[in-house]
Amino acid sequence: MSSLDTKSMIPAILIAGTHSGVGKTTVTLGLMAALRARGLVVQPFKVGPDFIDPSHHTAVCGRPSRNLDPFMMGEDGVRRSFSSALLGADVAVVEGVMGLYDGMEATEVASSAQVAKILDLPVLLVINVHGMSRSAAAMEKGFVEYDPRVRLAGTVLNRVGSERHLSILKSCMEKPIFAALPREREMEMKSRHLGLVMGFEKEHDVQALAVLLERHAAINEILKLRALPCPTPEEKAAAEKSVRIGIAQDEAFCFYYYDNLRELERQGAELVFFSPLQDDLPDVDGLYIGGGYPELHASRLEASPARSQIKRASEDGMPIYGECGGLMYLGSAIEMETGTFRMVGALPGATVMTKRLAALGYAQAEAVAQNPVVGLGKILRGHEFHYSRFDSDRDARFAYRLCRGKGIREGWDGRKR
């Protein structure tokens, strides 16, 4: 069943880049902030499996940013998430991932281009024009012609050197220039080992970003860009609440996909948010501990009363699911250069922080043992990105066998007690 979605007729754009590091996030946040300053309700989105950029979107827009990932969600899932999020919004802004055409390996899967085609979104291409003039026009032409099915509406020129530089660029670019941003070193975003700092850490001046875009972008013209209406799968009615699930959420555990939490609610779960850093374990039937930065808060996690309470709940048979940082927390310890810190100890094994990237990319697994997430034989899709390893005994039990990705050890993942 599907219906013709008219909500997507509000202004909507996808901001893509020629490659990573060209200023997509700065442009996106600045545009979102400028639109908010005009009194508009902005619905943010992010292409791909990113947790960090969406936290910035959410902080700027005051609405949860939604991930759009065709590999993990499928095309219908992308359409459903996009359509459902538009309720009450005046404009939709989608931040792309990597370069416009960069997808999984040498394919377009999970690329900004694929999402733009699924939703028929107009694309603004961010080009870092520092040190370029006519070469920027050649770059634009290549991106336009590489896949004519992508609606490339125009460009955003970043790091323009001067008015003369801009005049030269205008004389040779074919597509409309929707923004021309000068070099602003103070606008660069701070980062750490998993990417940018989180949005709630407020390491950037949102008001300054808004002023930058309002001054140098044709926002009135951007607001004329729209997605075309497309059939959108209908959502099933939410089930009655039948179970309480505790969701760990604070500075240490902040990596969640909004649609995953929403799906739990649709399946009948009442979500109870709490902080393992400072709260007691709430009265719940099960726990979901997401990823984040437990290594940055290891001493506080070690001292928190929730640590021993979760251990007792695990021993009493409570279903507990941890991913990424959640796995680290459920193990016996986190070992770093600064010391070793005790964690919950619900799972045998310890996390060792590494200086090098240990895993990065999409993963796919088959469930081969009972677990809190899916039944036997079911396929899971996810994403790996960490600077750590989880050490456990050779006879460790796992719930998933990977057909794509590294996993915890030799293609196995889903560590069980």
Q: What positions carry a catalytic annotation?
A: 324
- Helices (H) and strands (E) counted in the chain, each on its own, are 12, 25
Which tokens sit at 359? 């895993």
CA distances in angstroms from 95 to 90, 161, 339, listed in the order given: 17, 25, 38
DSSP letter for each residue of 53-92: HHHHHHHHHSS--EEE-HHHHHHHHHHHHHHHHTTT-SEE
Question: Do residues 65 and 112 make contact, with C-beta atoms less than 8 angstroms apart?
Answer: no
Beta strands in 161-311 (DSSP E): 177-182, 191-192, 195-196, 231-233, 243-248, 253-255, 269-274, 286-289, 291-292
> Furthest-apart CA pair in the chain: how many Å?
71
Q: What are phi and psi of 73, to 5 degrees?
A: -105, -20
CB 308 within 8 A of CB 299: no
**409 is written with which tokens?**
């050890």
d(CA 56, CA 181): 20
* Cα gap 142→280, rounded to integer Å: 56
The position carrying tokens 């991930």 is 67
Q: What is the DSSP letter of 21?
A: T
- 331-354: b or e for each residue (b if 16 or more CB lie within 10 Å)? bbbbbeeeeebbbbbbbbbbbebe
- What is the sign, positive or negative, of the torsion defined by CA atoms of 4, 9, 15, 18? positive
Q: Of 70, 118, 121, nearest to 94 (Cα)?
A: 121
What DSSP letter does each residue of 80-125 carry, written as one string? HHHHHHTTT-SEEEEEEEEETT--STTS-TTSHHHHHHHHT--EEE
